């Protein structure tokens, strides 16, 4: 039976996370180059798939293709129109080795790509664990489902659920529909009043995986909102509500607990925004 909310911890978790971070930045750069531009930089992010994340449909020189990082089976799947998919195993090879393998496949089909420094690291990513990659895939799948459920409840505009390769976080933007007072209306990052709901795999600010909820601009008194079990307010470097993934999966029903967390903050945010 699949563990829908597996722990993301242990000696091999961080090496696996870091290796996948490197691999996904390569795949993300390919999407950035070829996907049609979208507002809020959504063309830069990867799209959740059943077994991992994908570029979605890409096209160059009238050739359509897609690339998926299959976390369940530790492989990259390259799919081309009217061809059987090709697989490249993920086993802790260096970024340069993976890019070389991918480049051989796409260039052989007339697709020209350059990814700069992302494909130059020759250090093997030792400690990579297919079991940990599968655990992350299961966790992302469950979190994505809750994000989709939450997204479906909203009447205001929401963006696509996106995995940002640079920070290695899954995120969903919600928009109030109003412009931020005093902001340049053409500044797509700062013009729209919004809330951000996400899941990060760990970073310099918070080393462990965590769910976060932020708002821009941050409404006064949002931090007065009572938080559910396991959550707290983060104030160092950025401000927002945080629920460690390790705390989330200890609850009786992690999915409902996460959904309740998101609902509570969106309700408080909308009320404080005067909506």
pLDDT in tens, 193-218: 999 999 999 999 999 999 999 999 99
Q: Is residue 157 part of a domain?
A: no
Residues 176 and 263 in one domain: yes
Residues 110 and 205 in one domain: no
The span from the first CA to the last CA of the chain, in angstroms, equals 44
Q: Work out the average pLDDT over 24-41.
A: 96
- Does the global pTM surpass 0.85? yes
What pLDDT is attached to residue 243? 99
Q: Is residue 144 part of a domain?
A: no
Q: Is residue 85 part of a domain?
A: yes
Q: Is residue 209 part of a domain?
A: yes
The least confident of 93-97, 120-124, 228-232, 252-256 is 120-124
Q: Looking at the predicted structure, is the pLDDT value of residue 66 above 90?
A: yes
Residue 94 neighbours by CB distance under 10 Å: 17
Q: Collect contacts of 215-219 with beta carbons under 8 A, ≥24 apart.
A: 215/240, 215/269, 216/180, 216/190, 217/180, 217/193, 219/269, 219/272, 219/273
Q: Looking at the predicted structure, is the pLDDT value of residue 1 above 90?
A: no
Residues 18 and 97 in one domain: yes
Q: Is residue 134 part of a domain?
A: no
Q: Is residue 214 part of a domain?
A: yes
Asked which of 101, 119, 137 is the last residue of a domain, the reply is 119
Q: Is residue 124 part of a domain?
A: no
Q: Work out the average pLDDT over 56-66.
A: 95
What's the mean pLDDT when you consider all of the chain?
Answer: 96
Q: How many domains does the chain have?
A: 2
Residues 49 and 114 in one domain: yes
What pLDDT is attached to residue 119? 81
Q: Looking at the predicted structure, is the pLDDT value of residue 117 above 90?
A: no
Q: Is residue 146 part of a domain?
A: no
At 181, is the pLDDT very low, low, confident or very high (cuts 50, 70, 90)?
A: confident
Q: Looking at the predicted structure, is the pLDDT value of residue 186 above 90?
A: no
Asked which of 59, 92, 119 is the last residue of a domain, the reply is 119
Q: Which domain holds residue 68?
A: 13-119
Residues 104 and 196 in one domain: no
What pLDDT is attached to residue 185? 83
| Residue whose C-alpha is closest to residue 44's, from 188, 239, 140 | 188
At 170, is the pLDDT very low, low, confident or very high (cuts 50, 70, 90)?
A: very high
Q: Phi and psi dihedrals of 14, rounded to 5?
A: -65, -45
Residues 87 and 171 in one domain: no
Residues 20 and 86 in one domain: yes
What pLDDT is attached to residue 183? 84
Residues 88 and 180 in one domain: no
């Amino acid at each position: 039976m699949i563990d829908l909310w597996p722990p993301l911890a242990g000696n091999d978790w961080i090496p696996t996370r870091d290796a996948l971070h490197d691999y996904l930045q390569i795949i993300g750069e390919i999407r950035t180059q070829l996907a049609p531009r979208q507002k809020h930089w959504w063309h830069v992010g990867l799209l959740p798939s059943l077994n991992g994340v994908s570029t979605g449909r890409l096209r160059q020189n009238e050739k359509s293709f897609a690339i998926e990082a299959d976390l369940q089976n530790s492989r990259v799947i390259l799919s081309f129109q009217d061809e059987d998919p090709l697989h490249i195993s993920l086993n802790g090879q260096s970024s340069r080795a993976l890019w070389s393998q991918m480049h051989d496949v796409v260039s052989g089909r007339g697709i020209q790509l350059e990814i700069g420094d992302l494909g130059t690291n020759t250090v093997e990513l030792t400690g990579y664990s297919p079991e940990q990659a599968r655990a992350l895939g299961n966790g992302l799948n469950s979190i994505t489902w809750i994000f989709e459920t939450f997204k479906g409840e909203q009447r205001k505009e929401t963006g696509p659920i996106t995995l940002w390769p640079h920070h290695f976080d899954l995120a969903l933007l919600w928009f109030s529909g109003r412009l931020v007072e005093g902001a340049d209306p053409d500044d797509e990052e700062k013009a729209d009043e919004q809330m951000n709901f996400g899941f990060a795999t760990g970073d310099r600010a918070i080393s462990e995986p965590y769910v976060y909820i932020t708002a821009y601009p941050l409404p006064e008194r949002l931090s007065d909102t009572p938080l559910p079990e396991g959550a707290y307010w983060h104030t160092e470097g950025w401000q927002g509500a945080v629920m460690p993934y390790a705390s989330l999966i200890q609850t009786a029903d992690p999915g409902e607990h996460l959904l309740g967390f998101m609902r509570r903050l969106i309700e408080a945010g909308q009320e404080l925004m005067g909506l």
